[in-house]
A and B are shown apart, each in its own frame.
Chain A
Amino acid sequence: MQNALHEAQTIVLLGGTSEIGRAIVEQLVTPATRTLVLACRRPDEANPDEFARDGLNVVTTYFDAAATDTHDPFVRGLAADHGDLDVVVVAFGQLGDQADFDADPQAAAEVVHVNYTGAVTACLATAAQMRRQGHGHITVLSSVAGERARASNYVYGSSKAGIDAFAQGLGDALQGTGVRVTVVRPGFVHSKMTRGMKSAPFATTPRVVGELTAEAMRKGKHTVWTPGILRYVFMTLRHVPRPIFRRLPLG
């Protein structure tokens, strides 16, 4: 059970090696936090020491976002082991390379499966657990790439568009149950996922995304754009005619 100051006792990061996910968790861990679970496909790379502090139990565990049939038992297992889950951050995702997708459609299917289908089952399994406990906060990493698909990464963008729409609907469906959903829409973030890529306008860092997300969660906001100015940038971009949109230098 989190307390009145939004200090969670139990935090779960699905996508335990995600830089943005870890930056969010970094902001959520307080002296009230008892358990932090870093769940990912390669738990030996999750580096729990980075979060080590007195009184905090950091657990690394195997979780495969693509194995959708394992998600419900996985979440139930977490609750059985650690009690109520106060915050679950759904941060796993793959960017992929559009050129590879063009050559191998199956590669695109894998990315879409993880980013969309896997996130749907992980969120639904988490939502079911949080309904059972009557409280909790699910934070879902979307992307501005889902706001309007671009030629350079439309497979990734469309998967994020799907999970973004899903998470909004989930948040509305959970209204009145004690469970909150916050959708995070970062712009270009300098991280290992984007290493070597050309930076886009209003690029930011995982730390800034983490701070803004934690603040939005405290305030119970449904949506957070990081940086905040992107809300207004995309308000405009959404209405730009396609012939012009596809010529814009958006990375």
Chain B
Amino acid sequence: MGARDQLESHRAELTGFGLTNPSGAVVVDIDDEVAATAIKDLPARGGIARGLGRSYGDPAQNGGGHVLRLAPGSIVVDEQACTATVGAGVSLDDVLRVIVPRGFFVPVTPGTRYVTIGGAVASDIHGKNHHLDGSFGNHVTNIRMMLADTTVVDVGPDDDPELFWATVGGMGLTGLMLEVTFRLLPIETSRISVDTYRLDSLDDVMTEMVASESDFRYSVAWLDLLATGRRVGRGVLTNGAHAVTDQLDPAASNDPLGYAADQIAVMPPLVPPHGVINKLTVKAFNEMWFRKAPRQRTGELQSIPTYFHPLDLVGNWNRVYGAEGFVQYQFHVPDDAVDTMVSIIHRLAAAQLPIFMTVLKRFGPGNPAPLSFPQSGWQLAVDIGVAHRRIGTLLGEFDRMVLAVGGRHYLAKDASMSAETFRRGYPRLAEWQAVRERVDPAGVWASDQSRRLGLT
């Protein structure tokens, strides 16, 4: 079958998940067959692949250029080898629907299942198991990708490892991923056994996280940044592990791998222009969220969506911040810089911003990818509405504190850092750029983020 002559395309103004900083581009719908035609057709401002648009800022936008949207493709599971080979445009949601009933789980999932496999590799996503299992790239055995000159290559940890690791975390700037093979995790049941601890201070949260991390595959803490005084940073720690068959009650034992993942609500398209997030609503929410957690409960069985993807229950929840949108500030600091983490948390709390999504996590060692975000230590993610003036000043101060201790910021969440902050956070940038220069000397792959940060 020959490539189709006509590409499906339309003009559109795109933003990331944070709904900030739109740009206009030509969106081209492609599949494997027409990918080469689409690449040959790219204008001077180049192209970038876009999955489900779940990056918060501008990495899947390309103002004045083309944005390529790859059709989902297939999901092939090799039960013997314990791997899946999946089209880069397929979502984790679709993968889970296929593999969970067959007794497998993805090696890494972020807080949403609405990301594509291509996006998962490009951002080298991490999840609640990073402290033990590393990030998504650690579990990828092969990437089939089309390069700027339209040749198709297969790369892996042992096959052109430089290009492989430059593509992991490379924000789609090394080539167009077509298909990814990654290892699966065998599971006995689709339930997660969860231990929950409600902890009254930040110190308690951090101490408990360090104490319990080797015992649980999954671990994450939610913090209340609107609490005051000694309760600043109080939180709820949830540690999880895949439940085994013996843990299920008799009714559930009939269908140990049952899996249902549905949205229960969708945010209405019209929300008040300033959103529904303010200090009063968030303070009430935080208090409720904190109080509803048990002081301590062990072995509670939760579903995969409940434990891993609670926000996916509400479609388009990103609209709660109103039309002006929001940013997610996510950064890492090494273990020996725990004081910096504590200090930033206290300063965020002192600013009394209406923040309800604050997630603290431990990271294990990083992988060989030059632009991969996770490294050993602590990471924090907070959502902040951009309607709040002067957050630029506050985040700028945090940037300097993070960089001073050898920390860095996550490109998939970044929407506001400076080129200088990026360069200092990723000292191996030149190594990555050398690989990119080899596979894309003309600079065909480009995004708003790559221009803003001087990535390419």
Q: What is A's interface to B at a CB cutoff of 8 Å?
A: 1-7, 9, 30-32, 55, 83-84, 131-135, 176-179, 218-220
Contacts and interface: CB of A to CB of B under 8 A. Distances in A.
Contact of A4 (B24, B57, B451): B57
B23 A134 contact: yes
Given A132-B64, A134-B45, A135-B24, A4 B416 contact: yes
Contacts of A5: 20, 327, 386, 391-392, 395, 415-416
Residue of A1, A5, A6, A55 with most partner-chain B CB within 10 A: A5
B21 interface: yes
A134 B418 contact: no
B452 A134 contact: no
A4 B20 contact: yes
A2 B417 CA distance: 10
Given A1-B58, A176-B11, A30 B64 contact: no
Contacts of B58: 1, 4
Closest 7 CB pairs of A and B: A134-B63, A4-B415, A178-B24, A4-B20, A134-B64, A1-B452, A178-B23
Given A6-B386, A135-B22, 11 more contacts: A4-B386, A5-B20, A9-B452, A55-B420, A133-B45, A133-B63, A134-B63, A176-B11, A178-B22, A179-B24, A219-B324
Contacts of B20: 4-5
A3 B415 contact: yes
A147 B62 CA distance: 38
Contacts of B391: 5
B448 interface: yes
A31 B64 CA distance: 26
Contacts of A7: 392, 416
Size bin of chain B's contact surface: 20 to 34
10 contacts: A1-B451, A3-B21, A4-B20, A6-B386, A32-B418, A131-B24, A135-B64, A177-B24, A178-B25, A218-B324
Nearest to A133: B64
Nearest to B274: A219
A214 to B, nearest CB: 10
B82 interface: no
B52 to A, nearest CB: 19
Nearest to A174: B24
A30 B11 CA distance: 31
B278 to A, nearest CB: 17
A174 to B, nearest CB: 9
A6 B327 CA distance: 12
B185 to A, nearest CB: 35
Nearest to B390: A5
A32 B420 CA distance: 10
Given A30-B392, A176-B13, A2 B24 contact: no
Contacts of B12: 176
Contacts of B364: none
Given A134-B25, A135-B24, A178-B23, A84 B325 contact: no
A219 B388 CA distance: 11
A177 B24 CA distance: 4
A83 B45 CA distance: 12
Nearest to B324: A219
Nearest to B448: A1
Interface string B406-421: 0000000001111010
Contacts of B240: none
B24 A176 contact: yes
A84 to B, nearest CB: 7
Interface string B4-30: 000000011100001011111100000
Contacts of A9: 452
A179 to B, nearest CB: 7
A4 B418 CA distance: 11
Contacts of B452: 1, 3, 9
Contacts of B415: 3-5
B386 A134 contact: no
Residue of B11, B18, B23 with most partner-chain A CB within 10 A: B23
A221 to B, nearest CB: 11
A46 B24 CA distance: 34
A181 B326 CA distance: 22
B186 interface: no
